[in-house]
Structure 1
Amino acid sequence: MNFKRYGRPAVIAIVAALALSSCAANEGGTASTGDASASTLTGTLNAAGASSMAAAQEAWIAGFQIANPDVTINYDPSGSGAGREAFISGGTAFAGSDSYLSDDELAGTFASCAPTSKAVDLPVYISPIAVIFNVEGVDDLNVDSDTLAKIFAGEISTWDDAALVALNPDATLPSAPITAVHRSDDSGTTKNFSDYLFQTAPDVWTEKASDTFPFSGGEGAQGTSGVVSAVTNGVGTIGYADASQAGELGTAKLKVGDEFVAYTPEAAAEVVAGSPLVEGRAADDLALDLNRKTTNPAEYPLVLVSYALVCNEYADAEQGALVKAYVEYIASAAGQTVAEESAGVAPLTAELEANVAEVLATVK
């Protein structure tokens, strides 16, 4: 394995988290991991976590269960924070999270893991975070990080604020209040959003990245779907959500360097490709230090990487075998194609897929 952590050898891995519920086998994707009649896997996997990957997860579960009809996968999209808590306490076999495990979490124990084993962060899903809005008469919106930070920190409260007008000279912005919608639950999407603002607008966004939204103003909503619903059904609303669930809402362009950049899966993948692993972690932990400060307009820095949180070794070997098989599927070229087609996200590179397969070979 040739991945480096700022010059230190490291392995790269991936694992996924996910699916929405066992009934998803009757919905969506048809990807197969092979001849279902040849599958000897049996059992049930319970997981919970990030709500951002709903479309991809439905398709992943459907494909895996078609190929492995005696396996049931249940995924509760309760949010990244709740997913990590459930995994740490042993309530699930793995978790999906849009933010990697903290040093404090890694220092603790994981009830599903063997006594001498720890959990690792395995990236499996790359997606832009869209700044979604619903403002009558406004189809296009430009924002820079300072202005975006001021909106969500409550310092800009009307759509015709001078800062927004200056960024959008061709738009007719109404003299109407802004309703900024944020996640009310512990959310990896919030952590990525706040990390972007803390790194690029530190004079305004003074709070470090956190799963919990740090300011008291605005409107809170549960889960990705809750934020999308609140923006859709509100008046003069703005929010943030995984781009795969933005639907027909307006999406803002971010200022990157000297240009305003619309999100694309490709631009999100470019940021990830240029980001190193987080320093000081185990060689098989693949947490990424995302390059939020890029000035390259080919890159979209408001991106999330979703991780599957899994054990190196499971206390229950049968559960370990099921997790390993499922993750191998979603981290494979076939699984990534399913996610790309169902959610419009960026697939992992061939190099990353290969390194993931090498790491997964050690999971038991």
Structure 2
Amino acid sequence: MTKFRKSALAALVAVGVMGMAGAASAAVVGGGATLPEGLYGKANASTDANGQPYDDHGIGILHDGAGFNPYVGVGSGAGKRAFFNNNSDEFKWDHDDNPLTPDVLFYPTRVTVDYAGSDSLVSAAELGSYNNPSNANGRANFGALIQVPSVLTSVTVPFNVPGLPTLNLTSEQLAKIFGGEITRWDDSQLGLTNAPAEDIIVVHRGDESGTTEIFLRHLNAIDSGAVESVNKDFVAAIKPAEHPAATFLPAVGSAGVVTAVEATAYSIGYVSPDKVDFDDATVVASINGYLPTEVNVQAAVEDSPVPAGALVNNPLAWGISNANPSTGYPIVASTNLIFSQCYADSGDESKIRQFVGNHYDVNYTLNDQEIEEAGFVKLPAAWLNAVRDNFWASNSSLSIGNANVCNGKGRPQ
């Protein structure tokens, strides 16, 4: 039995590819970050793609009967491209659960992309392009861009080091390991008792990932010499070729990182909390003495201010990201959802509003168990209220589907 959790998102194989094209017009379409796919994307179906019964272990929070198609986990970069270019061809999946065969289009016939999930924050360039009046897939036709935090997440650090039953690293040590400056477990800079005289194998995401961006944002804030930039592409930020003494091993997706760490002695990686036993010190490293437990994650974001005043109108202000918190587990941020304000199809608009109204209600508890089971942490009440008041309440000019703003415009069916 593996000590790492197996991803529940083998459930994406629970829906036949050909069936999705026909179902798309009747349901909300989206995907993106793999970090929250276990929370969002559990397919609500009784058989898999081969017609065999399966246990879907309950349904994700975007599938609680509200009319959302299965969330397609392809990484934050591909998810944002799908949304901003309105191109469902970015949604590809491992239809036969075989990494050796090519992934296929989840939607063989293109459909409208209604939203995206992303751990990578919307950039100023992405917002500027969306707001450009000449952009047919932007604000002029679809209304204002809305980026909101969904849940809090940590980025955990799984390790597989024979001879080290637990591992406690400082943020500075972590930056030097992943920045290629510390390359051996017995390096004196780590000061590990009984450290093996072995090379460190750094397992990193080989695809564009918001998990990578969150992880590197913290390491860059700690040591900009070791980790010179922040990027959703690990290779672009770290440039492994410039560190010949270090051993870097790429893996695709959060599940791929877990599999690689588990299979590779003397390795260390980074991954979302739902893929590992995040509160088990024999599985994930403590950072600065903290494990990524709920209380330690909440402590790290206590000082993150809710947007107010002019910032309310700025989508870039709505992601929770504290690169170097003063207390708590230090690698913490929100995973986010990206919508347009306007939807031409009243059914899609109603389904999205239903989700937003429920998920951001401090008194709504149906999602709480799913959030906890997936290893994430519910947003603080102040953030829940702010999202609901600004993007759902009918008296807000920013609310999804506001008739005064959306008359005659919206993402098509």
Give the structure-1-normalised TM-score. 0.79
Label 1:161 to 1:267 Cα distance change in 2 as closer, same or farther (>3 A): same
- Taking the TM superposition and a 5 Å limit, the aligned residue runs for 1:5-16 are none
Correspondence 1:101 to 2:122? yes
Correspondence 1:275 to 2:304? yes
Asked whether the 8 Å contact 1:159–1:175 carries over to 2, the reply is: yes
SS of residue paired to 2:270: strand
- Taking the TM superposition and a 5 Å limit, the aligned residue runs for 1:36-185 are 43-58=26-41, 62=59, 68=65, 71-91=67-87, 92-109=113-130, 111=137, 115=141, 117-164=143-190, 166=191, 168=192, 171-185=193-207
Asked whether the 8 Å contact 1:278–1:289 carries over to 2, the reply is: no
Offset of residue 313 of structure 1:
1.6
Correspondence 1:190 to 2:223? no
Between stretches 121-130 and 336-345, larger displacement belongs to 336-345
Offset of residue 350 of structure 1:
2.7
Letter in 2 for 1:346: V
**Which residue is equivalent to 2:225?**
203
Deviations 1:164-190 (A, max 9, x none): 1x2x3xx31100111101111111111
Deviations 1:6-44 (A, max 9, x none): xxxxxxxxxxxx9975948xxxxxxxxxxxxxxxxx921
Correspondence 1:331 to 2:327? no
Between stretches 94-103 and 140-149, larger displacement belongs to 140-149
**Which residue is equivalent to 1:215?**
238
- Taking the TM superposition and a 5 Å limit, the aligned residue runs for 1:340-359 are 340-358=371-389, 359=391
Asked whether the 8 Å contact 2:63–2:69 carries over to 1, the reply is: no
**Aligned counterparts of 1:331 and 1:107: Cα–Cα separation in 2:** 27
Correspondence 1:319 to 2:348? yes
Aligned residue pairs, count: 318
**Aligned counterparts of 2:62 and 2:290: Cα–Cα separation in 1:** 39
% identical equivalent positions: 27
Offset of residue 145 of structure 1:
2.0
Asked whether the 8 Å contact 1:143–1:253 carries over to 2, the reply is: yes
**Aligned counterparts of 2:306 and 2:43: Cα–Cα separation in 1:** 26
- Taking the TM superposition and a 5 Å limit, the aligned residue runs for 1:251-266 are 251-255=284-288, 260-266=289-295
Asked whether the 8 Å contact 1:276–1:288 carries over to 2, the reply is: no
**Aligned counterparts of 1:65 and 1:53: Cα–Cα separation in 2:** 11
Deviations 1:235-274 (A, max 9, x none): 111000112212376211112xxxx222212221222231
Between stretches 332-341 and 231-240, larger displacement belongs to 332-341
Label 1:215 to 1:242 Cα distance change in 2 as closer, same or farther (>3 A): same
Between stretches 43-52 and 285-294, larger displacement belongs to 285-294
Deviations 1:67-110 (A, max 9, x none): 537x2422110001110000001131100000221001001137
Deviations 1:308-327 (A, max 9, x none): 00112224443222222233
**Aligned counterparts of 2:212 and 2:356: Cα–Cα separation in 1:** 25
Label 1:84 to 1:97 Cα distance change in 2 as closer, same or farther (>3 A): same
Asked whether the 8 Å contact 2:86–2:137 carries over to 1, the reply is: yes
Offset of residue 344 of structure 1:
2.8
Correspondence 1:244 to 2:227? no
Letter in 2 for 1:43: A
**Aligned counterparts of 2:43 and 2:295: Cα–Cα separation in 1:** 21
Asked whether the 8 Å contact 2:204–2:270 carries over to 1, the reply is: yes
Task: Identify the structure with bigger relative contact order (alpha carbons < 8 Å, sequence gap 6+).
Answer: 1
User: CA RMSD for the aligned pairs?
Assistant: 2.8
**Aligned counterparts of 2:384 and 2:155: Cα–Cα separation in 1:** 23
Gaps spanning 5+ residues in structure 2: where?
1-8, 16-24, 45-58, 88-112, 131-135, 241-247, 394-398, 402-413
**Which residue is equivalent to 1:360?**
392
Between stretches 284-293 and 182-191, larger displacement belongs to 284-293
